[in-house]
Amino acid sequence: MSEQLPVVSLFSGAGGLDLAVERADAEPLQSGDHGNGLLRVTAATDYNEQALKTLLSNFPGTKTVTGDIREITTAEILEQAGLGSESPVLVVGGPPCTPFSKSGFWLEQKRESLDPNASLLDEYVRVVRDSRPEAFILENVQGLTYKTHRTQFDRLLKSLADLGYNPQWKVLLAADYGVPQLRRRVFVVGRRDGEGFQFPEPTHSGWSERDRKIDVTKTPHVTTSQAFENLPHLTIASDDEVVDGRYGELAAQIPPGQNYLWHTDRYDGQNAFEWRSRYWTFLLRLDPNRASSTLQAQPGPWVGPFHWENVQTTSGADRARRLRVNEMLRLMSFPDDFKIAGNRADVQRQLGNAVPVELGKAVVRALMTQLGYIDQVSKSRSIALG
């Protein structure tokens, strides 16, 4: 096609939502299809240097704007993209989720929703107000919808509604859209014409941590063993992959799909912990026959999910191992050749904060279909540029 529709990306991070945008009209990742290039991210913003290196490595045609969004005007962003007001078809992005993440609730200011970074939601609204895109997609952690943050969430929705965008929101489970991960994210979507957005129906079904009902008419959830198919099987782990130290021996004894509860008086391990005295992810091992639990951005040394297979140390001791970069890419439904700057921990931080690509694609594709850019009959092949 001769013309690509411009998109502005805010808080871009590793570019999961950006990749979903540019492959919105593509078939699932495993097909190798990249789509027809209906959309192009023309400008992306972030303050993190490693994230920007990742963006530049994978989106060479995208202009990046570095810095604190609170100090960057909308005009600067549009100028970098070569756009004017009402030119972007979409504004997309996920303001940093730390203020609303359940993993941050140990901090009083986060429990009371006093984190100053929460104001970044207002900056997102400001860019939508100034740029007037045809539609927007905002994503965040499910915690944004909790009672603790409800005042901020309601203000966000009201601010977007006051702009005439009629925002619709829903918490989606990534595994229900072909991602091998039980990751829940809230999406807020609005259209400039005020028409209500209809969220895409799930394509997959399976057990989650909350739901034991399975829709047999849908494709089963993608399991971790399916996700890791054809990856190199390395028996030797690097030092930063080995789960060793205080709980190293205990972690290695935990069966697939179990966590520290294995080592309580109710299971067959060592009686080392009190029942429900830790977070669920403490010493958690992947179950090869289920989708993965959420890949966290900054886990502690004993926080999983760890691989279900053990490795041996140089002294011959069995130890659990952390996930490798290629495995994390698969769990986030990123392409295998996606390049991420930094060491293994840096990669996990960037991926753990990202939008799973197939989940993002489902939302973007549904929006572009409802806007008339993708023909609903052929779903992803007939593109109407009106």
Q: Write out the chain's pLDDT in tens, 386 residues.
A: 458 999 999 999 999 999 999 999 988 766 677 788 899 999 999 998 889 999 999 999 999 999 999 999 999 999 999 999 899 999 999 998 655 544 443 344 444 444 454 589 999 999 999 999 999 999 999 999 998 888 999 999 999 999 999 999 999 999 999 999 999 999 999 999 999 999 999 999 999 877 788 999 999 999 999 999 999 987 778 888 999 999 999 999 999 999 999 999 999 999 999 999 999 999 999 999 999 999 999 999 999 999 999 999 888 899 999 999 999 999 999 999 999 999 988 999 999 999 999 999 999 999 999 999 998 644 434 333 33
Tokens representing residue 303 in the block: 């926080």
Q: What pLDDT is stored for residue 211 in this prediction?
A: 78
Considering Cα of 43, then 44, then 49, then 55, what sign does the dihedral take? negative
Which pLDDT value is given to residue 64?
A: 93
Q: What pLDDT is stored for residue 376 in this prediction?
A: 64
Start and end residues for every CATH 3.40.50.150 domain found in the chain: 5-220+337-370
pLDDT at position 210, please?
78
pLDDT at 284: 98
The secondary structure of residue 133, as a DSSP letter, is -
- pLDDT for the residue numbered 30: 61
For residues 358 and 333, the answer to whether their CB atoms sit within 8 Å is yes
Q: Which residues pair with 184 in a beta bridge?
A: 173
The single-letter code of the amino acid at 96 is: P
| C-alpha to C-alpha distance for 206 and 269, rounded to whole angstroms | 28
pLDDT at 321: 95
Q: From the centroid of its chain, how far is CA 341?
A: 17
Is 97 known to be catalytic?
Answer: yes
Nearest residue to 134 via CA among 376, 382, 372, 375: 372
Take residue 365 and report the two structure tokens written for it. 């594709």
Q: What is the pLDDT of residue 43?
A: 96
Q: CA–CA separation, 21 vs 12, rounded Å?
A: 12
Distance of CA 178 to the CA centre of its chain: 13
Q: Which of 97, 137, 175, 357 is catalytic?
A: 97
The bridge status of strand 219-220 relative to strand 310-312 is unpaired
Residue type, 337: D
Q: Are strands 219-220 and 318-320 parallel, antiparallel or unpaired?
A: unpaired
Number of neighbouring beta carbons within 10 Å of residue 331: 26
Whether the CB-CB separation of 5 and 39 falls below 8 Å is answered with yes
Of the CATH numbers 3.20.20.70, 2.60.40.1510, 3.40.50.150, 1.10.940.10, which one belongs to the domain with range 5-220+337-370? 3.40.50.150
